[in-house]
Amino acid sequence: MGSAALTAVFTRESSDRATVRATRIVEPIVVDGRLEEGVYAHTEAIAGFVQQEPHEGEPSTEKTEVWVLYDDKNVYIAARCWDSEPDREIATEMRRDGNSINDNESFAVLLDTFHDRRNGFLFQAALAGGMSDAYITDERDFNRDWNTVWDAHADRVEDGYTVEMVIPFKSLRYAAGNDQIWGINFKRVIRWKNETTFLMPIPAALGRRGMNKVSAAATLVGIQTPRNSRTLELKPYAISGVTTLRPRGSLALNDPRFDRGFDAKVGVAGGLIADLSYNTDFAQVEEDEQQVNLTRFNQVFPEKREFFLEGQGIFSFGGLQNQPRSAGGGGSGAAGSTQANPNPNDVPVMFFSRRIGLGPAGPVPINVGARMSGKVGRYSIGLIDIKTGDAQGAPGQAALPSTNFGVVRVKRDILSRSAIGVLFTDRSTSTLGQGRAQSFGADGVFSLYQNVTISTFAAKTTQPDRSGDSLSYRGQFDYNADRYGLQVERLFVDTNFNPDIGFLRRQAFSRDSAFVRFSPRPKSIRSVRKFTWDGQFDYTTSPSGQLESRLAQVGFRSEFQNGDVIGLEYAESYELIRVPFALSSGVSVPAGGYSWPELHIGYLFSPLRRMSGWVNVDTGSFYDGKRTGFSSGRGRLEITPQTSFEPSLQLNWVELPVGSFASALLTTRTTYSISPRMSAAALIQFNTGTSAMNTNIRYRWEYQPGSDLFVVYSDNRDMTVRGFPEIRNRGFVVKFTRLFRL
């Protein structure tokens, strides 16, 4: 082992500035979580964590020691997490990328490898064995679906637990040169106390988004990267399976298949990576979770395909994440986030990757795709060129022709934490007619002081047979401190504005909105951590000035020390319906103007409980009738650290003059984790709105880092028949991938 460094491994110059020095070692660490190597005894540990919650800036109530080591191939992060009452530790999440890692005893590291104080890699390990990685872009876009090759193990000790991580240099992106200066921060969640601590102070106002504040990281020195660390990866796949279609009243049709393809990744220069995909296949991706939609707007589902997830934050535009939020009805959880975000669904998404490779009738074959993304100096660059094959159109529509998709994104860092950029998209065949569809725009995100952010963009689109009136712009001011919050926004979308490789929920409108929040922390009530009062007002008109939508809402929430939250919201809405739309079979909302009040009551159960999640009750008027709703989400029942049951439920009872109906959507996900790299999961969905029961069962074995075996079974059943639901279609596939790192 290498000897201890002659200089201090950690120096805190001030409350918000510190330097961490990495220690080079000769022999690699055996990553088993046990801290048995001699380097831990001979190297000074990094300590001095401070609280984010519950008492911002105060020393952590439990001691944490950290070591940063490296050799010619890997970076090693190790931690000893002391605990005064280890019997009370929460250790229930063993899954890779599990949703509950933050609800467990866990330890995480942030690496700002370009030292730009904006972007970073996050690696987190839970006491039960769960692992999670993510990429943060511009301190805003948190892409937890990003995955790379690394490993981590935790081990219980008498007075707490220990953690070891190994992160290959080939799994990171960094500037050219051997001598590196990075940013670094550490996070420890002491869940049984509902306490969150960091090495460098993080504002309590950020809540669980605390790791997003890359600019707060300490400076990491002493790292020397290997000379031959350029990325060169090849990942071929082979897939085999059978699909069964059984139209009602006819015999089953079986369609066997065998296919193959590959993905390749090449380091071009510094942090710039080129990706190539041939005959891309996404058979292993879990099905979308269905939604209940009681609005006149289209639904949207998040991207889950790995090829489109890496570098996703580079393509975000106008200060928005690249994933539009769903537009489902039924209430959003009154006990949810206290952060200002009025009606985000209406903001245009200029590039949304689900427009590629997914059509109205299902998947569209991707023949070949190329992408280049990364960072060079102060510039972030993203380039995409993808060609899809011919595909079946929606029922009653023509087939989809082969189409080429192109995207160019360039951003430049300015000031200390701000950026400006441009975006261009091109689709060779428009969805609206013969000819090309293009969009282009410029945006800026200006992070000023500690809590002030200004986001803005201006964009234009072109479509066949459409000219003029195709502009959109947005300006938003956001002040988000722990005690006070204020957000004001102006958004405009012209009549013919339509990003053909993006997502536009509402067309042709102008919206003005405001949100205010007051969140005191009462010292006289020991059981309460924070109260929150907030108010929101949205006013949306047509481009000519006619009122189309209005929302006035006030809310109150109380967050308790144990993590429970109770919330109450009262809202008054107005909607102008120009064209009747169907809510359910035989029940439609006629054209006209409607104004109605609603009351939402919600309770969020703490992750400290065996059964966690939120429940919501909605009651009040609905257009010219009434609606009562019950919904639950983020539910999780811990059976063992290896087995979890995650139910969610949406129920609605609607009474209108033209008719009444009830709808139900039950979703259950059951997961059994044999190890962090081997699991079986079943997603079952019952939806009375579509009269369908969907089942998706997926087994995944990551037999070596980056290489997987998937076995997937899925079916769709008709619930309108008597007895057990009848098969409409089903599929069974086996997919094998192998990662070669050269």
- Whichever domain contains 69, its CATH number is 2.60.40.1190
Which one is predicted more confidently, 602 or 228? Answer: 602
- 427 is a domain residue: no
Reduced 3-state DSSP string for 360-411: CCEECCEEEEEEEEEEECCEEEEEEEEEECCECCCCCCCCECCEEEEEEEEE
Q: Would strands 366-376 and 362-363 be described as parallel, antiparallel, or unpaired?
A: unpaired
Rounded mean pLDDT of the chain? 88
Residue 43 to residue 34: CA distance in whole angstroms:
16
Residue 568 has pLDDT above 80, yes or no: yes
Residue 403 to residue 400: CA distance in whole angstroms:
8
Q: How confident is the model at residue 335 (pLDDT cuts 50, 70, 90)?
A: very low
H or E segment to which residue 714 belongs: strand 707-718
H or E segment to which residue 650 belongs: strand 643-656
Judging by beta carbons within 10 Å of its beta carbon (0-12, 13-18, 19+), is residue 85 exposed, middle or buried?
Answer: exposed
Residue 398 has pLDDT above 90, yes or no: no
Percentage of residues in the chain with pLDDT exceeding 70? 92
Contacts of 228 (CB under 8 A, 6+ apart): none
CA 560: distance to chain centroid? Answer: 26
317 contacts 352 by C-beta, under 8 angstroms = no
Q: How confident is the model at residue 565 (pLDDT cuts 50, 70, 90)?
A: very high
- 704 is a domain residue: no
pLDDT, tens digit, 9 for 90 and up, residues 273-298 = 888 988 888 777 777 778 788 888 87
Residue 516 to residue 483: CA distance in whole angstroms:
11
Q: Would strands 179-190 and 379-388 be described as parallel, antiparallel, or unpaired?
A: unpaired
Q: Where are the alpha helices (DSSP H) in 384-520?
A: none
Residue 395 has pLDDT above 80, yes or no: no
Judging by beta carbons within 10 Å of its beta carbon (0-12, 13-18, 19+), is residue 87 exposed, middle or buried?
Answer: exposed
385 contacts 356 by C-beta, under 8 angstroms = no
- Residue 215 DSSP label: G
Average pLDDT on 518-546 reads: 95
Task: Specify the amino acid at residue 47.
Answer: A
For residue 228, give Cα distances in angstroms to 127, 178, 179, 225, 271.
34, 10, 14, 9, 14
CA 708: distance to chain centroid? Answer: 22
Residue 130 domain boundaries: 10-224
Residue 124 to residue 78: CA distance in whole angstroms:
12
By three-state DSSP, how is residue 208 classified? helix
Residue 469 to residue 459: CA distance in whole angstroms:
12
Percentage of residues in the chain with pLDDT exceeding 90? 62
Six-digit token pair at 294?
Answer: 């009681």
Q: How confident is the model at residue 723 (pLDDT cuts 50, 70, 90)?
A: low
150 contacts 201 by C-beta, under 8 angstroms = no
Phi, psi (degrees; rounded to nearest 5) at 169: -60, -30
Q: How confident is the model at residue 153 (pLDDT cuts 50, 70, 90)?
A: very high
First-to-final CA distance of the chain? 27
Cis peptide before 247 (omega within 30 of 0): no
**Rg (alpha carbons) of the chain, rounded to whole number:** 26
- 177 is a domain residue: yes
Residue carrying structure tokens 């990866």: 233
- 617 is a domain residue: no
Residue 248 has pLDDT above 70, yes or no: no
Residue 42 has pLDDT above 70, yes or no: yes
- 216 is a domain residue: yes
What residues are paired with 83 via a beta bridge? Answer: none
Task: Specify the amino acid at residue 598.
Answer: E
Of 323-327, 357-361, 661-665, which gets the smallest average pLDDT?
A: 323-327
Residue 627 to residue 618: CA distance in whole angstroms:
8
- For the chain, the maximum distance between any two Cα atoms, rounded to a whole number of angstroms, is 81
Can you give the pLDDT at residue 299?
A: 76
- 638 is a domain residue: no
- Determine the Cα angle at 630 with ends 624 and 631, to 5°: 120
Residue 203 to residue 55: CA distance in whole angstroms:
10
Of 40-44, 388-392, 451-455, which gets the smallest average pLDDT?
A: 388-392
Average pLDDT on 152-171 reads: 95
Residue 629 to residue 665: CA distance in whole angstroms:
12
Highest mean predicted confidence (pLDDT) among 355-359, 575-579, 688-692:
575-579
Q: How confident is the model at residue 339 (pLDDT cuts 50, 70, 90)?
A: very low
Can you give the pLDDT at residue 3?
A: 40
Residue 268 to residue 372: CA distance in whole angstroms:
9
Q: What is the DSSP string of 136-189?
A: EETTTEEETT---S-EEEEEEETTEEEEEEEEEGGGS---SSSEEEEEEEEEEE
Q: How many domains does the chain have?
A: 1
- Determine the Cα angle at 590 with ends 586 and 591, to 5°: 150
What residues are paired with 577 via a beta bridge? Answer: 592
Q: Nearest Cα to 448, choosing from 477, 489, 482, 491?
A: 477
Highest mean predicted confidence (pLDDT) among 137-141, 343-347, 533-537, 688-692:
533-537
Six-digit token pair at 509?
Answer: 């409108």
Residue 368 to residue 389: CA distance in whole angstroms:
9
- Residue 309 DSSP label: H
697 contacts 733 by C-beta, under 8 angstroms = no
Average pLDDT on 73-88 reads: 96
Query: How many Cβ atoms from other residues are within 10 Å of residue 514's Cβ?
Result: 16
Residue 315 to residue 503: CA distance in whole angstroms:
14
- 457 is a domain residue: no
Residue 542 to residue 223: CA distance in whole angstroms:
56
Q: How confident is the model at residue 168 (pLDDT cuts 50, 70, 90)?
A: very high
Q: How confident is the model at residue 325 (pLDDT cuts 50, 70, 90)?
A: very low
pTM of the model: 0.88
Residue 530 to residue 532: CA distance in whole angstroms:
7
Q: Nearest Cα to 322, choosing from 356, 296, 366?
A: 356
711 contacts 698 by C-beta, under 8 angstroms = yes
- 220 is a domain residue: yes
pLDDT, tens digit, 9 for 90 and up, residues 572-609 = 999 999 999 999 888 999 999 999 999 999 999 988 88
